[in-house]
Amino acid sequence: MDTLDHQLPAALRRAVATREMRVGAGALATLPSALRQALPADTYVIIADANTWAAAGQQVAAQLASAGLVTAAPHILEESPRVQPRAETARTLAESLHGSTAMPIAVGAGVINDLVKYAASLAKRSYACVPTAASMDGYAASGAALRDGGFKRTFACPAPAAVIADLDVIATAPAGMAAWGYGDLAGKLVAGADWLVADALGEEALNAGPFALVQDNLAAWLKQPDAIRRGDRGALEGLVRGLLTAGLAMQAHGNSRPASGSDHQFAHLWEMEELAVDGLPVSHGACVGVGCLSMLAAYEWLLRQDMANIAPAMLAAQLPSVESLRGEVAAAFRVPFMAANAEAETMAKASDAAAAERRLKTLQACWPTLAARLHRMLPQAADVQQWLQTVGAPASAAAIGVSPQKHAADYRRARLIRRRYTALDLLHELGWLDAMVSSVFSSNGFWRGSLPT
């Protein structure tokens, strides 16, 4: 048994809500025993959409029936072209759960899981999850990422009591979905770097256990993009285990910091704007992958800079006032609900000059050590771009319908939508955010969709 085989059980021991996790070919056969152990109930209700009902829902129903477990009529969500992550949908689903005693079983990918997770929490009960694709990391995570009134935010709610990931089911998902999951997993590169920065500057302390759960094995999970694209079962299992472990790390820490940083700020921005290509919404994992590339390029630029001669007091004094920040938000977001929510998030992390000066002085003192660690942990943006291209994921902003002009502007806009401190905030406080963007976009065709030479 190798390191990765040991890694998932170790992560499960740190979990708060998830008590059973089964991963492997034919794992659905163990669903009844997992439910008896982790989610005993008189009745269960399967929640799926038409596609995931066909992919695994019928098998779940058959397994429960053969084991003598009672199920209510399945709840099949319907929406075209596919079910969207709307909090309103979850609230309606919660109302239907209130009317029964059935324990829900989410059968599907990210959207189905998050809808059921939030609905179960509102109905004050737990649930089980049967993933149908290796498309994202939220199956085992606490919290549900949903659009509420159009604004993408994470609702606090418990993770599932049981996760049953059958590789025979997951292998039948459209190949592009594993590429989305790979993009979501690649984003952890930036999430880890952002957490290191926030910890070094006294903004959010590093939690060593959850940090290590993700970062210590991330390179191994990402090393076979070609095999994942071919549908190699071993590589696919590694991807699934990586995504589930990232979710367990979030569960252990209590929020998404171990797996979500500035990469996700780009993704949430684009998802709120309902980015689409050929009429189809761009997936979360595709957005995260491009967000990851965006921030790896930013980190490369940042790591080339000399911090020895910055003037912390002067830079802190030049930061925009609260009123200027409100004006920036209003100019960046013309849609009222986005502007209101972005203003709340921006104001939550706006700080006075004294706090900014303290951070920048700390940065000067710790930069040699911090920069060395960031150099060791972060691959080059061009290398990750190649990995994404190999796995079949979008590998440029152009591939997800974002123009160079919009992409450049979105570095500032992404910083405004979340209160979490990341490298975007550091670049802002240094007064270098615009200079970094200008440099990145004037480099050798990096964001025009082709790999640098």
Place of tokens 């000067």: 364
Q: Which of 102, 106, 203 is nearest to 162 (CA)?
A: 106
Place of tokens 């080059």: 380
- In angstroms, rounded to a whole number, what is the distance separating the alpha carbons of residues 31 and 384? 36
End-to-end CA distance of the chain: 40
Which pLDDT belongs to residue 4?
Answer: 42
Which pLDDT belongs to residue 192?
Answer: 98
Which pair of tokens denotes residue 352? 């006075």
| pLDDT tens profile 337-388 | 889 999 999 999 998 999 999 999 999 999 999 999 999 999 999 999 999 9
Please give the angle made by the CA atoms of 275, 277 and 283, to the nearest 5 degrees. Answer: 60
Which pair of tokens denotes residue 142? 């606490």
Q: For residue 151, what are the β-bridge partners?
A: 148
Q: For residue 128, what are the β-bridge partners?
A: 105, 162
- The residues near 438 (Cβ < 8 Å, ≥ 6 apart) are none
- In angstroms, rounded to a whole number, what is the distance separating the alpha carbons of residues 345 and 342? 5
| Domain covering 3-173 in this structure, CATH number | 3.40.50.1970
Which pair of tokens denotes residue 390? 């190999």
CATH architecture under which domain 177-204+257-448 falls? Up-down Bundle (1.20)
Q: Which of 450, 448, 372, 434 is nearest to 403 (CA)?
A: 448
Phi, psi dihedral angles at 108 (to 5 degrees): 165, -165
Extract the residue ranges of the chain whose pLDDT is less than 70: 1-6, 444-453
- In angstroms, rounded to a whole number, what is the distance separating the alpha carbons of residues 331 and 128? 43
- In angstroms, rounded to a whole number, what is the distance separating the alpha carbons of residues 384 and 286? 13
Q: In degrees to the nearest 10, what's the CA dihedral of 294, 428, 146, 330? A: -120
| pLDDT tens profile 161-190 | 999 999 999 999 998 999 999 999 999 999
> From the CA atom positions of the chain, what is the Rg in Å?
22
pTM given for the model = 0.92
Ranges of each domain in the chain:
3-173, 177-204+257-448
Q: In degrees to the nearest 10, what's the CA dihedral of 168, 169, 170, 176? A: 110
Please report, for residues 112, 284, 326, the alpha-carbon distance to residue 159 in angstroms, rounded to integers and kept in the order given.
13, 19, 35
Q: Are 23 and 131 in contact (CB under 8 A)?
A: no
Conformational region of residue 281, where left means phi above 0, alpha means psi within -120 to 50, and beta covers everything else: beta
CB atoms within 10 A of CB 335: 13
Which pLDDT belongs to residue 56?
Answer: 97
- In angstroms, rounded to a whole number, what is the distance separating the alpha carbons of residues 393 and 367? 34
Which pLDDT belongs to residue 447?
Answer: 54
SS (H, E, C) 371-414: HHHHHHHCCCHHHHHHHHHHHCCCCCCHHHCCCHHHHHHHHHHH
